[in-house]
Chains A and B, each alone.
Chain A
């Protein structure tokens, strides 16, 4: 097992418009990218558990040209609302760092 933080070369989050948060997880090479792409650790169900969502609301893309896994989830409310915590969404990746990736 390895933490996703040590397998990926970067993990970031940000707004995709006002109603979605998107995570880009970049990998240094094809091997690591493929290993994580195939792993159930980053399934829609796993992400849904981590962020208290329905798995149907989680979109996951494997973007081979840049070795990036992209995950998009809905925001709890539109960006900049009264109870906003992170209006750019840049810190919402933190729970992903500790995901266990079977090695």
Chain B
């Protein structure tokens, strides 16, 4: 008999998906249900704070349906990058949600939990050995930045998922992981070749984004065999086409043909996409090129300050025609206020975001001189400490609102405030302190991601 492996994929956990599509997919008796649960696109805040990126309610809705589907068929359910950033607090919160659903609904299964946190000592060792390479425009690492880093995760590959299966796991809640790794374990364990398995995993890792109607939230089903794979949506009305499937390898990726994984690269340059019926695409010729040595992508976040915002509407045409002069003077007056409060110039950052002019594109805005009849001015204050931010924030409104740039304000105000209080507390601000590739020993593909199992 020909070996096949079927993977049913929804999109990021908590985004919602078509219930009908899930039912249809389950009718096809998949060998695995999987989805990712996070992304670095949400920014460093979620790694730095460990907060869940999506509400418990929306996560629970998706998780409950997927858990019941997987248990009905007695097939594994896997998710990775739990909670948004895949840090241990988020993994714990997601595991607790699974335990809660199991308790409420009387489900019994073996749960595997795989954290992805990495110690500063391991990073420092790689850094000293020259085995840590920055990716793109991240600030250079130094000892201070590493010391200030609050949370570090490594993107696990498929190996910890395979280790969980070897431990008899029915449900896997994993920390930070590469998206395709979440989907590849069962098919690789079935003995299918790496080329089609990894490319199929990549094509379905965004679920319904591989379909013509993403708004329908259709799950997708990949059927992998030794020669290639097919991919189709499970909800009626959606379709997978050569364009939508080929387009997925480009998504959020710098190189359209190559997607790096811990042990190699998914190479789709020679892949052939064929429309087999109006909703199904078959892909052949995909390759997985093994790397000389394993590497892990590392993400770290550090806190850089505390933010407060002021939102003000500007409607005075006499002010708007001198907006730059106004903002420069406003900035200088805040600097004087800071000085008077004993706050050093480098203890805070003040950013003016004039929506309606160039708040989106900044210095790249070609239409900067076309200001409309009103501006939404977002005044963005980040202090190094909460005390600095608090002290200076209460000066933002009065200083700007009373600044009489054209001499005809008559003691009135410039700022139309939509809210009271006018200053909004945004909490802590974080930045990526680590965005690196780290060389590792082969055994670290599993040893850095210890699997713990429990029977519920």
Q: At the interface, yes or no: A88 with Cβ under 8 Å from chain B? A: yes
A17: interface (CB < 8 Å)? yes
Partner of A80, one of B45, B136, B271, B364: B45
A86 lies within 8 A of B250 (CB): no
A22 touches B252 (CB 8 A): yes
- Chain B interface residue number, banded: 35 or more
CB atoms of A18 and B430 under 8 A apart:
no
Give the residue name and chain of the A residue nearest to B40 (CB). A18
Main secondary structure of the interface of A (DSSP, over half): loop
Chain A residues, CB < 8 A from B250: 22, 24, 63, 66, 68, 70
B361 near A94 with CB under 8 A, answer: yes
Residues of A within 8 A of B191 (CB): none
In the complex, the answer to whether A83 meets B435 with C-beta atoms within 8 Å is no
Q: Is B256 an interface residue (CB 8 A)?
A: yes
A95 with B366, Cβ < 8 A, contacts A19-B137, A20-B136 known: yes
Q: Is the CB of B435 within 8 A of A18?
A: yes
Alpha-carbon gap, A51 to B40, bound state (A): 24
Given A14-B252, A18-B432, A94-B361: A76 and B137 within 8 A (CB)?
yes
Q: Is A82 an interface residue (CB 8 A)?
A: yes
Assess whether B364 is in contact with A17, with CB atoms less than 8 Å apart.
no
Q: Is the CB of B41 within 8 A of A65?
A: no
B208 CB to closest chain A CB, in angstroms? 16
Measured CA separation A87–B430 after assembly (Å): 13
**Chain B proximity of A65: nearest CB distance (Å):** 4
Q: Quick check: B247 and A22 within 8 Å, CB to CB?
A: no
| B240-265 interface bits toward A, Cβ cutoff 8 Å, 1 = contact, 0 = none | 00110011001111111100000000
- Tell whether A15 is near chain B: CB-to-CB under 8 Å: yes
Q: What is the number of residues of chain A that contact chain B, defined by CB distance less than 8 Å?
A: 41
Known contacts: A52-B363, A68-B250, A87-B43. The answer to whether A82 contacts B432 by CB under 8 A is no
**CB proximity of B12 to chain A, nearest CB, Å:** 14
Are B247 and A66 within 8 A (Cβ)? yes
Q: Within 8 Å CB of B364, what residues of A?
A: 50-52, 92, 95
B340 CB to closest chain A CB (Å) equals 24
In the assembled complex, the Cα of A78 lies from the Cα of B429 at a distance in Å of: 14
Question: B366 — which chain A residues lie within 8 A by C-beta?
Answer: 95
Q: Which residues of B contact A75 (CB under 8 A)?
A: 136-137
| Residues B43-80 near A (CB distance < 8 A) | 43-45
Q: Do B136 and A26 have beta carbons less than 8 Å apart?
A: no
Across the interface, which residues of B come within 8 angstroms of A74, CB to CB?
Answer: 136-137
Whether, in the assembled complex, A85 has its beta carbon less than 8 Å from a beta carbon of chain B, the answer is yes
Q: A16-B254, A18-B138, A18-B432 are in contact. Are A82 and B361 (CB under 8 A)?
A: no
Contact of B349 among A18, A22, A66, A82 (CB under 8 A): A82
Q: Give chain B residues whose Cβ lies under 8 Å from the Cβ of A67.
A: 243
Closest to A92 in B: B361
Min C-beta distance of B379 to chain A, whole Å: 13
Q: Give Cα A61 to B247, complex, Å.
A: 13
Which residues in A have some Cβ–Cβ distance to B below 8 Å? 14-20, 22, 24, 26, 50-52, 59, 61, 63, 65-68, 70, 72, 74-88, 91-92, 94-95
